[in-house]
Amino acid sequence: MAKFLIFGSYTQQGVQGLLKDGGSARRAAVKKLVSSVGGKLEGFYFTYGEDDVVLIADLPDGAAAAAVSLTVSAS
């Protein structure tokens, strides 16, 4: 497996969900997402600036990384 660094930005709805459910729930959801494509979440960090979240994951391939990235950014 390869390591991927994935950046994501939340939609307004995603920010509202984050405020409602908390950061731990978001991390758990991303961990479940990464596992569903055969990967392992190594790190999950909230950031300030252009991106809202950065994650480091071991993933099987670029297609899995793209799926995770698109799903995180769509939330």
Distance, in Å, from the CA atom of 57 to the CA atom of 20, rounded to the nearest integer, reads 25
* pLDDT per residue as tens, the chain (75 positions): 999 999 987 777 766 766 777 767 888 889 999 999 999 999 999 888 888 889 999 999 999 999 999 988 777
pTM: 0.83
- Our count of domains for the chain comes to 1
pLDDT at 43: 97
CATH of the domain at 32: 3.30.70
- 3-state SS class at 67: helix
Q: Which residue range is the domain that position 18 belongs to?
A: 2-73
